[in-house]
């Protein structure tokens, strides 16, 4: 092993599975953010943590509503995942621009994302400050799966610089 600048070692984490999260602003407008930083943190109850930059529109949405949905896109959802990972819900309606019909959730108001392998409805329990991102931890209150037999989308090596996620190389 040789010591390198921290930023030079971070790409070794690739490939990273892509996660989408839907959220909603306080006026009820739905939004989607593309995430690389997501994990399940508990089995009973099932809980998820997502790391959201303080500058993201999604940060405001989740903080204001106390809800989010974690969804796993299929491998053919790369184009919309890229779009939702570089545009902001402050400027565009991502559901509309991606031709996605927001699907009603069972236990929360935030809609599900169609086409994904699974959607997990989460109610926000905790927020932790961590550098330039916040970790939101939510309890899963309902789950939905699709009949899709496709694989999950992974970040394609070389397309994105994960040191500055969302930035085109
Ligand atoms: C592959 C990929 C992974 C990303 N991972 C994260 C992440 O884990 N956390 C985060 O805050 N932003 C992440 N981003 C950047 C956001 O998706 C991006 O800034 C988005 O435009 C924010 O949208 P919003 O302003 O509507 O919330 C990622 C982007 C891409 C393309």
User: For the chain, which domains are there?
Assistant: 17-156 (2.30.110.10)
Please identify, by atom number, the ligand 1 atom nearest to the C-alpha of residue 89: 26
Bond from prior residue into 34 cis (ω within 30 degrees of 0): no
Q: What is the average pLDDT across 20-37?
A: 97
- Tokens representing 5 are 């600048």
Q: Is the CB of 36 under 6 A from ligand 1?
A: yes
Residue pair 128/135 in contact (Cβ under 8 Å)? The answer is yes
Q: What is the average pLDDT across 149-157?
A: 82
**pLDDT score at 167:** 38
Q: Could you tell which of 24, 56, 136 is best to mutate to test the pocket of ligand 1, judged by most ligand atoms within 8 Å of the CB? A: 56
Phi-psi region at 158: left, alpha or beta (left = phi > 0; alpha = psi -120 to 50)? left
- Tokens representing 7 are 């930023």
Q: pLDDT tens digits, residue range 2-25?
A: 999 999 999 888 888 999 999 999
**pLDDT score at 156:** 61
Confidence of residue 66 (pLDDT cuts 50, 70, 90): very high
Number of neighbours of residue 132 by Cβ within 10 angstroms: 9
Mean pLDDT taken over the chain: 92
Residue pair 107/98 in contact (Cβ under 8 Å)? The answer is no
**pLDDT score at 15:** 84
What span, in angstroms and rounded, lies between the C-alpha atoms of 138 and 157? 30
Q: pLDDT tens digits, residue range 71-113?
A: 999 999 999 999 999 999 999 999 999 999 999 999 999 999 9
The residue ranking higher by pLDDT, 164 or 115, is 115
């Amino acid at each position: 092993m040789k010591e390198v600048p921290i930023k030079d070692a971070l790409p070794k984490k690739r490939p990273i599975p892509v996660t989408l999260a839907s959220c909603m602003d306080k006026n009820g407008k739905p939004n989607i953010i593309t995430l690389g930083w997501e994990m399940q943190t508990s089995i009973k109850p099932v809980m998820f943590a997502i790391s959201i930059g303080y500058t993201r529109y999604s940060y405001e949405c989740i903080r204001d509503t106390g809800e989010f949905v974690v969804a796993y896109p299929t491998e053919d959802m790369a184009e919309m995942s890229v779009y939702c990972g570089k545009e902001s819900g402050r400027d565009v309606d991502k559901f509309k621009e991606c031709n996605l019909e927001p699907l009603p959730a069972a236990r929360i108001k935030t809609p599900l994302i169609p086409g994904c392998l699974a959607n997990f409805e989460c109610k926000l329990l905790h927020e932790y400050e961590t550098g330039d991102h916040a970790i939101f931890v939510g309890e899963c209150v309902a789950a939905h799966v699709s009949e899709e037999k496709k694989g999950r989308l992974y970040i394609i090596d070389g397309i994105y610089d994960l040191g500055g996620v969302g930035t085109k190389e």
